[in-house]
Amino acid sequence: MKYSPVKILIVIFSLFLAGIITIATADTQYPNLANKKELIIKRGYTKEALTCIECHAKKMPGTVEAWKTSSMSHAGVSCYDCHVVEKISPMAVQCEGMKGTNTYISPMVSSKTCSRCHPLEVEQFLKSGHAKLASKAVMDISKTGGKLIKLQYHYEGAGFMDKPDLKLDGFTPKGMPAYNRAARASGCQMCHGTKVEMGPDNKPINETWPGGVGTRYPDGSVGTCSVCHTRHKFSIAEARKPEACAACHLGPDHPDIEIFYESKHGQQYLAHGDDWKFDSAPDTWEPGDYTAPTCATCHMSGIGELSTTHNINERLKWDLMHKKSVIRSGERGDGEKGVKLMVKVCANCHGSTHIQTQRATLDNSVALYNKYWEGAVKMKKELKEKGLLKKDPWRDGFQELEYYLWHHTGRRARQGSAMNAPDYAHWHGFFQVFQVYLDMEDIYNYRIKNNKIEELSTVMSSAPY
């Protein structure tokens, strides 16, 4: 592995800058963000650090081999730096090799640990949807009154194959049957992350760890930094490839990787990506290393006059995931600013006529989708007033279709047009939005005319996913 002095200087310098920038905004959970510490790069390892490496090389060779290939191992950052915690930490345990010593470790490593040396990346990350919002979607019962949990957990799979003898984990809303945690632990949690619950021996319980990007750790810190540059290589080349995002951004409700592969950008990546250079130093990855953008290029990487950001909300204008698309504001970002930044990305390779056409197409797509959504809301309101909605939305054709309208077909239409995938924008998108809408209209007309709900859901399992 190459180890250039210039690279080290850049890192030291940027960490130094980062230290200055973060002083004012440091969070109390992250005391190190306030610490204007210079990075000391040790060429060798301390004796304590060596004991971890040596024993683990025998007992856990896979992990050590991966870490050995990382640039951090070459800079002297080892198991000890990331896994040793204070005895008083709520996550402190002792591994087989540490029993009887004064050293405590944890298998859990949050963004707080990384913030000791990478304060800028962590600060940006914490402002993004990948941090608190991602896990809130899967756990925050207090703010949502349990409604979201009820809807998502129970109806989107957690209640599936329920066994009444399975014990609850405290999340089940009142009046709901018990559910099997498997759906959360194997599904939602692995992408979103959830709040880690701890047992008396400082070990995670209720299958709440490991988890995805927004994992909330027992010490109050948030976020797993290894979802894109996976452990223990922590390769930025990996994170720059679209497959890094595809672990989560795929499937019927947010097919971003499918959209990307279909786009002209994806075509170039698939055809020529093997020849592109993915391992350029941070902030020096520029056109020439590649000829078309990946997810990271548009949403994160430094390009032209833009610097790298770990806040993936920064370059977005619209909210393209919720029921109605609005310009981003507050915790979702700043849409007016976002569009300006995203346009700067495109301008590295496209002229203003081309870019403005794409932006206009996206704005029009949002307007078209919103029109359908508003129509659906109007119909639903009337049905509700007349008592023509079933209590259980998943046994009610109209409400089932309403879900597919925004969550599946509508997201595909919006995200397909945002990222230049004609098939997703149209055939998996607007065409199906239109079909779903017409079916909703038919059900609506039937109910209004007959003043009753049809007996069986006309949607059943044939829904347009």
Interface positions, 106-125, toward ligand HEC (CB under 6 A): 107-109, 111, 113-114, 116-118, 121-122, 125
Q: How far is CA 252 from the centre of its chain?
A: 16
Q: Is the peptide bond before 218 cis (omega within 30 degrees of 0)?
A: no
Residue 205 has φ and ψ, to the nearest 5°, of: -125, 175
Long-range residue pairs from 209-213, CB within 8 A, at least 24 positions apart, any chain: 209/108, 211/135, 212/134, 212/135, 212/248, 213/130, 213/131, 213/134, 213/248
Is residue 82 a contact residue for ligand HEC (CB under 6 A)? yes
Taking the C-alpha atoms of residue 288 and residue 306, their distance in angstroms, rounded to an integer, is 16
Q: 342, 379, 389, 425: which one contacts ligand HEC (CB under 6 A)?
A: 342
Site string (256-285) toward ligand HEC, x via CB under 6 A: xx--x---xx--x-------------xx-x
Q: Is 92 in the site for ligand HEC (CB under 6 A)?
A: no
Is residue 388 at the binding interface for ligand HEC, with CB under 6 A as the rule?
no
Q: 418-434 burial by CB neighbour count: b if 16+ within 10 A, else e?
A: bbbbeebbbebbbbbbe
Give the nearer residue to ligand HEC in terms of CB position, either 34 or 355: 355
Q: Of these, 388, 418, 425, 453, which contacts ligand HEC (CB under 6 A)?
A: 418
Answer whether 236's CB lies under 8 Å from 72's CB.
no
Residues in contact with ligand HEC, shown as a per-residue x/- string from 144 to 163 under the rule CB under 6 A: --------x---xx------
Answer yes or no whether residue 134 interacts with ligand HEC by CB under 6 A: yes
- Pick from 91, 139, 339, 425: which binds ligand HEC (CB under 6 A)? 339
Q: What angle do CA 330, 331, 335 make, to 5 degrees?
A: 55
> Strands 197-198, 104-105: parallel, antiparallel or unpaired by DSSP?
unpaired
**Mutual angle of helices 5-22 and 119-126, in 10-degree steps:** 50
* 458 is an interface residue for ligand HEC by CB under 6 A: no
Q: Which of residues 426-455 bind ligand HEC (CB under 6 A)?
A: none
Residues between 351 and 380 with contacts to ligand HEC, criterion CB under 6 A: 355, 358
**Which region, judged by CB under 6 A, interacts with ligand HEC, from 21-29, 225-233, 394-402, 445-453?**
225-233
Partner residues linked to 222 by β-bridges: 216
Q: Does the CA dihedral 133-169-166-148 come out positive or negative?
A: negative
79 binds ligand HEC (CB under 6 A): yes
Q: In the complex, what is the shortest distance from the CB of residue 450 to ligand HEC, in angstroms, rounded to a whole number? A: 35
**Where in 298-337 is the site for ligand HEC (CB under 6 A)?**
298-302, 308, 310, 312-313, 316-321, 332
Compose the 174-193 pattern: x for residues touching ligand HEC by CB under 6 A, - for all others: -------------xx--xx-
CA angle 403, 408, 413 (to 5 degrees): 125
Q: Which of 185, 346, 425, 459 binds ligand HEC (CB under 6 A)?
A: 346
Site string for ligand HEC, 21-60 (x = CB under 6 A): ------------------x-x---------xxx-xx--xx
Nearest to 25 by CA among 126, 136, 129: 126
- Measured from the CB atom, the residue of 27 and 442 that comes closer to ligand HEC is 27
Does 421 interact with ligand HEC (rule: CB under 6 A)?
Answer: no
Query: CA-CA distance, 287 to 348, in Å (whole number)?
Result: 8
